[in-house]
Every structure is written in C-alpha cells, then in structure tokens.
Amino acid sequence: MTEALALSDAEIAGIARRLDRPVVLVGLMGVGKSTVGRRLANLLSTKFADADEEIERAADRSVAEIFEEYGEAYFRDGERRVIARLMEERIGVIATGGGAFVDEETRTTILENGLAIWLDCDIDTLVERTGRRNTRPLLRNGDPRQILTELKDRRSAAYSQAQLHIVTDNGPHTETALRILEAIDAWL
C-alpha cells in the first residue's frame, strides 16, 4: 500500500495501464492544479507538464511579462499552441492555466484527446492561496475576491464540460490526487 492512500500500488498501476489519454487539470487560479498534477503524475509514474511553465519557456518570459508586453490575446494564442503540443506528445498529466479551458478551441482539443478534470474549491481557499504570490496578472488590478468570484460565475459553464468534477477543501494536495485517482478508476 502507498502510505495513507486507500488505493494499493497495484490498483494505481492498474489505473495507469488502463489510462490511454492525458489527464488534464482545469479550474480556477489557486485551486492547486500544478501541485496536485505533480502528485498525480508521480503516483501514476508518468510525465507531468505545467502549461504555464511551458508557455514561459517558449516565450522566455514570465506569464505576467507576456500579459504586460503583448496582451492577453497573445498569451491565449501561445497557450492554445502549447496545450495542443502537450496533448500530441501524450504527456500523462497536464496542468493548465485557469483560462485555458474557457477557450473553445483549447477545450475541444482537451475533451477530444484527453480526460479533463475540473478541480473546484471555495472562494476563501482560492483567495488565500493566490494571495501568497503576486504572479497572476488578472488579480493585480482590483480586489482578488471579487475578481475570482466573477471568474467563477463566468467560467463555471465551461469548466462543467470536463468529464470529471472534483470538489476539494483546503486539505492536503496528496489527498486530492487520490480522490482524482478514485474518480478516474470509476470513470474508466
């Protein structure tokens, strides 16, 4: 047994064997897509990619710098291309930026070629987590709680098209990764 997990190593290996497409984490900023994604990839013994990091590498700039120098539309173009490439490369687990799945073309690419997981949690947790770092351009001009609440209202219809929906609390990310594995097991 892997410690503190309700799934045995053999069961997790079985899930990994049956999974024939990338698992793609979608949802709002601060929900834990990158950290949970890394844990999930680790458990599944597969590769992990963070789409924002890949965009930063390709542009040789931070996400904030890309927004500042070129604007959001330019960022979304890069995001669309990078996610299409990661899907083609069949990376096992991919964490996306919060706006990626709202873009119709990106959403279609993910839904047709991957297994989308909507990671969801309450606004208080999102405000607390995003408040730890000032790296997110969309939260710089205004009250983060209000912006996150508006984004949640606006984006939930898109996020709800993901094949799986996992609601988390402020608990440990490893536990969330396990809940995802259980949901994938039931979905397969």
- Which region among 40-48, 136-144, 159-167, 179-187 touches ligand S3P (by CB under 6 A)? 136-144
- Tell me which residue has its CB nearest to ligand S3P: 97
Among 138, 148, 162, 178, binds ligand S3P (CB under 6 A): 138
Which of 52-83 are b and which e, b meaning 16 or more Cβ less than 10 Å from the residue's Cβ?
A: bebbbeebebebeebbeeeeeeebbebbbebb
Q: Does 25 bind ligand S3P (CB under 6 A)?
A: no
| Complex with ligand S3P: residue 11 or 122, whichever CB lies closer | 122
Question: Is the Cβ–Cβ distance between 169 and 121 less than 8 Å?
Answer: yes
Spatial distance between the Cα atoms of 23 and 60, rounded to a whole number of angstroms: 26
- Nearest distance from C-beta of residue 175 to ligand S3P, angstroms: 20
Q: Is the dihedral of CA 18, 27, 103, 139 positive or negative?
A: negative
Residue that has been written with the tokens 């309700």 in this structure: 6
- Find out whether 83 and 110 touch, Cβ atoms under 8 Å: yes
Per-position x/- string for 35-74, each x denoting binding to ligand S3P as judged by CB under 6 A, each - no binding: -----------------x----------x-----------
Question: Which DSSP category does 23 fall into?
Answer: E
* 92 near ligand S3P, judged by CB under 6 A: no
Which of 33/179 has CB closer to ligand S3P?
Answer: 33
Rounded-to-integer distance, Cα 76 and Cα 126, Å: 22
- Is residue 103 within the footprint of ligand S3P (CB under 6 A)? no
Closer residue to ligand S3P in complex, CB, 68/89: 68
Question: Which CB, 126 or 178, lies closer to ligand S3P?
Answer: 126
Work out which of 12, 19, 24, 29 binds ligand S3P, going by CB under 6 A: 29
Contact between residue 49 and residue 94 where contact means Cβ atoms under 8 Å apart: yes
Interface residues with ligand S3P (CB under 6 A) are 29, 33, 52, 63, 97-99, 136-138
